Chains A and B, each alone.
Chain A
Amino acid sequence: QQQVKQSPQSLIVQKGGISIINCAYENTAFDYFPWYQQFPGKGPALLIAIRPDVSEKKEGRFTISFNKSAKQFSLHIMDSQPGDSATYFCAARTPNSGYALNFGKGTSLLVTP
């Protein structure tokens, strides 16, 4: 059972545009929400993360928006670049299961020149 639902499955954005990926969850025990970026043949790398008591976090071109009441959070990539083309995963962590992460199914982002 997928505890974190991610959309869209794939996304094509022109260079300089804004990429937006959305995630939703049900489990209110989740206490940490990271986003990972993965390139083919590599492991996921942490991009940015947020706690549920914060509504927004910005690091460079990457911003997480968090809506606790709606149980939704999203990643915005400003001024998208071809080098941002990768698969992005949202995740949520619960103190159960040894603080393991529950992942969305991923979004394949292609930024065209």
Chain B
Amino acid sequence: DGGITQSPKYLFRKEGQNVTLSCEQNLNHDAMYWYRQDPGQGLRLIYYSQIVNDFQKGDIAEGYSVSREKKESFPLTVTSAQKNPTAFYLCASTPRGSLQPQHFGDGTRLSIL
């Protein structure tokens, strides 16, 4: 089945550690997005990428980094500079520029040890 796979489902970070969240899609979508979800806050945009080797900061990019080396993959690194990383992270994709809906993965829950 086509879809978006996020891994791992749960992740724990130690102080000063960088961690990377995986997002893979087999929908042949051009655009991919990372959102952060906090209780009662809705989803907020971290980074987005419309094509391979290009990505842009969203509303809350500080403390995060991404890469887009392949169309199907858009990993997110939570760096030690992100002081409050505990959240539910969601990856989404959509055909670029279309009115097709964004499809979401099932998220990664990141917690601090």
Contacts and interface: CB of A to CB of B under 8 A. Distances in A.
Interface of A: 2, 6, 9, 31-32, 34, 36, 41-46, 49, 51, 89, 97-106
* Residue from A46, A49, A101 with most neighbouring chain B CB atoms (10 Å): A101
Contacts of A31: 99
A19 to B, nearest CB: 19
A101 B43 contact: yes
A4 B99 CA distance: 19
Contacts of B94: 99
Given A44-B90, A89-B43, A106-B42, A49 B101 contact: yes
A100 B44 CA distance: 10
Contacts, number: 66
A97 B45 contact: yes
B42 A89 contact: yes
Interface of B: 4, 6, 31, 33, 35, 40-45, 48-50, 56, 58, 90, 92, 94, 96-97, 99, 101-107, 109
B42 A46 contact: no
Nearest to B39: A106
A103 B43 contact: yes
